[in-house]
Amino acid sequence: MKTILACALALPILPAEASPASTPDPGELSIAEMLQAQASGRIHCADVARNALATITQRDPQLKAFISVNPDLLADAQKLDALRRVGTVLPLHCVPIAVKDNLDAKGMATTGGSVLLRGNIADKDADALSRLRDAGALLIGKTNLDELAVAGSTISSLGGQTLNAYDPTRFAAGSSGGSAVAVATGMSLCALGTETVNSLRNAASSAGVVALRSTAGLVSRRGAIAQSSTMDVVGPICRSVDDAARVLAVMTDPRPAGAEAARAAAALRAGPLARASLAGKRFGVLANLFGKDPEHEPVNAIIRTALDALRAQGAQIVEIDDAEFDSDLSSKRLNVANYEFGPLFEAFLARLPAGVGPASLRAYVAAERYPTGMSKFLQQSVAWQAPLAMPEYREALRYGDTLRRKMLDLMDTQALDAMIYPAQKRPPLAVGDAPRPERNGIFASALGFPAIDLPAGFTPPDAGAPVGLPVGLDMLARPGDDVRLLGLALAVEQTLQARRKPPTADRR
């Protein structure tokens, strides 16, 4: 096991206080159930912390979801128990939260998965985490990611290769794969991840959980190792839509950036999430976001079956065939992160204390301590002397503005409530397979739209995946319509009821 994690797991797991026979398993509770279990006295926060440590000890050596565990986990839990004893109960009291290791957590290293950044100790929490902890959330630890969050397989020089919760011979996707696997297997109730293009939703799709990308500007990115000033977001990964909505409501920036984000924030403050009726709702389905080859058929069939279930609830499905909405082609034209990463990473390194981390991007690359799959991207970033002045960058921004207007016009003309499409065109790949794009997150990411991924179904079981492999369904709404999107997603989730507990979460 990784050294940092092993040291954290050396914390004493003290015997729990005597509890009623009906004590629930903290690793399987929703947020509402967790709060109720504490209110009724059936569980204490110290129990939750001990359970998290025991579960990580049992499951993480195989899956490698965590890079480090909060060294103050038990002490933090005991403080939350003490608050409850004097009558102070917080909105997310003792709700376990894991955090992707490109987000700051006070007193812990923020490594981005790089062995070269092990000495980067945060002096305060990232804004999003700070709001969650102020609301009573219990920080479990830091999760693995694609190093510096620049790819989609969740492999890093520090954390190794995170494996799929449903079939450990397969990728967990990513780059927020550690967060998604931690949630899927009950090592944490919810987690924070980041997304530039696909990272939250792609990881959630491969883990059979829910991930939310909110309207641009709704959640502060302060305290994150940035990849793109245009596309980056911080978002929740949970096992249900309701849990994701609860986490988003707390982590929303009190001063959101832009009118659309401000509208979303006001709606989140208005009250609890309500399930929308699907009757009469109109969902656009973009034909070019479905794969055309035989190996894509398992995903296509599951999404089409899900659409049939929505029709049965009275929803209207509007098929749209527009060549411009092709994720494979648009990813090449829209991904401004390719140009923004280098200057942002240089600025991050320049802010580190003397003697911590490499001096520059060039020094990071020269050290050759990163996964080999990053090489082409890093070499390109080093070679570009002034990427933000390149005409290709300015053209990508212009094209994004054009496509944003086109998407809004399309949704208005067709009177669409949301778009629906597969998060990725094929099931999770086997470890060792060459990475393939075939992910559909680019439109929400590049255009600033909110989007949510939730389980749609499973491929047929096989020897490697005893319950099958999860397939995620993405829903995209207009900017600022986050609450409306969540209400629709809640209705879709309850209609499909597609989530299954992964075999790796079974207690042995």
Residues 100-111 have pLDDT tens digits of: 999 999 999 999
Residues in the chain: 508
pLDDT tier, 162 (very low <50, low <70, confident <90, very high otherwise): very high
State the burial class of residue 340 (Cβ atoms within 10 Å of its Cβ: 0-12, 13-18, 19+).
buried
Global model pTM greater than 0.85: yes
pLDDT tier, 328 (very low <50, low <70, confident <90, very high otherwise): confident
DSSP-based three-state secondary structure for 134: helix
Element (H, E) at 234: strand 233-238
Q: Tokens for 501?
A: 């507990």
* Whether residue 300 has pLDDT greater than 80: yes
State the burial class of residue 209 (Cβ atoms within 10 Å of its Cβ: 0-12, 13-18, 19+).
buried
Q: Tokens for 367?
A: 């050290």
* Mean pLDDT confidence for 29-49: 97
Give residue-wise pLDDT tens across range 46-88.
999 999 999 999 999 999 999 999 999 999 999 999 999 999 9
Query: Concatenated DSSP letters for 47-63?
Result: HHHHHHHHHHHHHHHHH
Q: What integer pLDDT is reported at residue 7 of this predicted model?
A: 42
Give residue-wise pLDDT tens across range 174-225.
999 999 999 999 999 999 999 999 999 999 999 999 999 999 999 999 999 9
Element (H, E) at 283: strand 282-286
* Mean pLDDT confidence for 313-328: 95
pLDDT tier, 8 (very low <50, low <70, confident <90, very high otherwise): very low
Please name the CATH architecture into which domain 9-18+27-505 falls.
Answer: Alpha-Beta Complex (3.90)
Q: Tokens for 191?
A: 């987690």
CA 322 from chain center: how many Å?
29
Cis peptide before 188 (omega within 30 of 0): no
Q: What percent of the chain shows pLDDT beyond 90?
A: 91
Q: What percent of the chain shows pLDDT beyond 70?
A: 95
Q: Specify whether the CB–CB gap between 491 and 277 falls below 8 A.
A: yes
Amino acid at residue number 291 = G
Give residue-wise pLDDT tens across range 376-426.
999 999 999 999 999 999 999 999 999 999 999 999 999 999 999 999 999
- The residue ranges of every structural domain in the chain are 9-18+27-505
**Higher confidence at residue 272 or residue 222?**
222
pLDDT tier, 507 (very low <50, low <70, confident <90, very high otherwise): low
Q: Specify whether the CB–CB gap between 314 and 486 falls below 8 A.
A: no
CA 78/CA 52 separation, integer angstroms: 14
CA 46 from chain center: how many Å?
26
* Whether residue 5 has pLDDT greater than 80: no
Q: Beginning with the edge strand found earlier in the chain, give each strand of the sheet holding 282-286 in spatial order.
A: 66-69, 138-143, 96-100, 190-195, 233-238, 210-213, 451-458, 470-476, 418-422, 282-286, 316-320
Amino acid at residue number 491 = A
- What distance, in Å, lies between the first and last C-alpha atoms of the chain? 19
DSSP-based three-state secondary structure for 97: strand
CA 474/CA 424 separation, integer angstroms: 9
Q: What integer pLDDT is reported at residue 506 of this predicted model?
A: 85
DSSP-based three-state secondary structure for 349: helix
Candidates 30, 31, 98; CA nearest to 67 is 98
CA 179/CA 355 separation, integer angstroms: 29
Report in angstroms the alpha-carbon separations of 425 from 107, 205, 339: 40, 11, 26
Enumerate helices (H) and strands (E) in the chain, giving the number of each. 17, 13
Place of tokens 């899900």: 306
- The residues assigned a catalytic role are 100, 175, 199
* Whether residue 435 has pLDDT greater than 90: no
Q: What integer pLDDT is reported at residue 416 of this predicted model?
A: 99
